A and B are shown apart, each in its own frame.
Chain A
Amino acid sequence: MRRLSLAFDRGPLLATLMLLPAAALLGGLLAFPLALGVLLGFKDATIGDPGSFIGLQNYRYLLTDPVFRITALNTALYTLVTVLFKLGLGLALALILNQRFAGYRFWRSVLLLPYVVPTVLSAFAWWWILDPQFSFISWALVKLGVLDRNVNFLGNSCLARASLMVANIWRGIPFFTVGYLAGLQAIPKELHEAAAIDGAGDWQIFWQITWILLLPLTTILTIFSAIFTFTDFQLIWTITRGGPANATHLFVTLAYQRASPGGAMGEGAAIAGFTLPFLALLAWAALGALRTQA
């Protein structure tokens, strides 16, 4: 026992042993499949047929595929719009909650719920809210005399896109709020007080002190949110399955549709492969931001 204990005192051996379980799990079930997936993107594999190498054919085909092109545009639009709204609204909510008031803890806990509840389960609620026949939004609009018939939220490509964005924003606001609340609490109160004494207004204090000091955090939150948004499978697949007429696909839902029900494994892997450069770029940018912050 004593000898074993001594062996552990040697840094490299100890580190190797302690990293081994994680390395085995992640190597076998994450890194290996990832490499396999990249290779698969260069094959014409289908379900039950391992396929052979066809070079860049999958990629070339996808670039000419109108559905893939719409998906690429849609992924960019979806990510851009929702991240902007999540940032703005998440920061606004953080500023509201950052004022000390009775019931602060209660409100904070409750308002984070959209982020806590399993995505697919809350997506069911959104799906039902957007139902073409029984949506309460339609009911209210008709009742108020704004419209004379129900809105088919998920039947029209623009409305379906907007609806999904609202659901995604709903779920993602608390992510920014929690991040910003921590950031706001780290700003020394004296800074605000000094500025107020110098005669700065609330608005000025916000833009010239708070916002500036939050910028590094904003970069990190934005990049992370962008990564999780453009790979958002659950919400889209639950509410629209990429429809109507493939108008609301993201890369990941299209990859799933082509590979899993469709059976075109190679093509699906190539669609996933298209996301890798973006993912790498964002991960690298976030790493830089994390380092400057630390």
Chain B
Amino acid sequence: MRRAFSLWLPLLAFALFLLFPFYWMVLTSIKPNSELVSVTANPFWVSHPTLDHIKFLLSRTSYPRWFWNTMAVAAGATALSVPVSFSAAFALARVRFRGAEGVSIGIYVAYLIPPAILFIALADVMLKLGWFDRLWALIPIYSTFLVPFCTWLLVGYLKSIPRELEEAAMVDGASRLRILFAVILPLSVPGLISAFIFCFTLSWNEYLYALVFMSSPENKTVPVGLATELVRGDIYQWGPLMAGALLGSLPVIVIYFFFVEHYVAGMSGALKG
């Protein structure tokens, strides 16, 4: 009885608040337009579920293209950022050199600089480099927020690997490079998985850079495509919009559910100095 008040009732209240928008997303994407605009129908239910919105989205808009664009950029940015971050993190966590402290602080500051205060000047740089409206350009651009985050995450992770392991290998005459590949890398796999997941999900989440730097419809990402091509004037296509939001969230949700423990460990690990 006591548990009902200390656990289940508050848990239910949180679940209702935190999960309702997802229910609404799913419901709307399978609800026919006639029910969506009906004032008499019960809004919390659907009487004649339909796949029309999803069909419309997949056949009448560039959604499939945006989806693969986002996937390609996320994969590319991850493939670029994880090795770069691991290399930097190894230097910061394991190699003694003057200035390590300063570089660490620089990485930390870079992690806290939001894209929203960079994009204006970055647009200038992109223009000079001829990177405007080039999909692949998002890969190095995204690495500017992925690398600081992952480096920081991996430094914390590498510091938790006991130094004795390395020292033992050194005594045995192994070179630093060999230690890196034979000792440190295998032990870092859980940290690297966290880094992979965060790179991938943060890339799917990105909006501002793609919004400002990509202009042709065939170069847009899912959030930008939906916001600019499906939201037009006063006619909001709620069904396709919700279907698009749902489908666009799926890759992230699938990865998340596969690696929940790594995701949570990464999230709390990023809060350590």
In the complex, are the beta carbons of B147 and A33 less than 8 A apart?
no
**Bound complex: CA of A21 vs CA of B88, how far in Å?**
8
Minimum C-beta distance from A9 to chain B (A): 5
Minimum C-beta distance from A15 to chain B (A): 4
A136 / chain B contacts, CB cutoff of 8 Å? 24, 43-44
Question: Is A268 an interface position by the 8 A CB rule?
Answer: yes
Query: Which residue of the partner chain A has the closest CB to B212?
Result: A260
Within 8 A of B (CB), among A107-164: 107-114, 116-122, 124-126, 128-129, 131, 134, 136, 139
B222 / chain A contacts, CB cutoff of 8 Å? 118, 121
Question: Is B51 an interface position by the 8 A CB rule?
Answer: no
Count of chain A residues with a beta carbon within 8 Å of a chain B beta carbon: 98
Question: Is A182 an interface position by the 8 A CB rule?
Answer: yes
In the complex, which of the residues B6, B22, B208, B252 contacts A118, with contact meaning CB atoms closer than 8 Å? B252
In the complex, are the beta carbons of B248 and A121 less than 8 A apart?
yes
B90 / chain A contacts, CB cutoff of 8 Å? 18
Which applies to chain A's interface (DSSP): helix, strand, loop or mixed?
helix
Range, interface on chain B:
35 or more
Beyond A8-B177, A124-B245, whether A14 also contacts B238 by CB under 8 A is: no
A128 / chain B contacts, CB cutoff of 8 Å? 24, 28, 236, 238, 241-242
In the complex, are the beta carbons of A276 and B11 less than 8 A apart?
no
Which applies to chain B's interface (DSSP): helix, strand, loop or mixed?
helix
**Bound complex: CA of A121 vs CA of B117, how far in Å?**
22
B245 / chain A contacts, CB cutoff of 8 Å? 121-122, 124-125
Beyond A18-B87, A233-B116, A276-B117, whether A30 also contacts B110 by CB under 8 A is: yes
In the complex, are the beta carbons of A30 and B21 less than 8 A apart?
no
Question: Is B114 an interface position by the 8 A CB rule?
Answer: yes
In the complex, are the beta carbons of B113 and A118 less than 8 A apart?
no
In the complex, are the beta carbons of B91 and A26 less than 8 A apart?
no
In the complex, which of the residues A15, A40, A117, A294 contacts B121, with contact meaning CB atoms closer than 8 Å? A40
Residue among B18, B222, B249 having the largest count of chain A Cβ atoms under 10 Å: B18
Given contacts A25-B143, A170-B18, A252-B116, 9 further A-B contacts (CB under 8 A): A5-B175, A25-B147, A36-B125, A110-B15, A111-B19, A173-B18, A221-B271, A233-B207, A256-B119
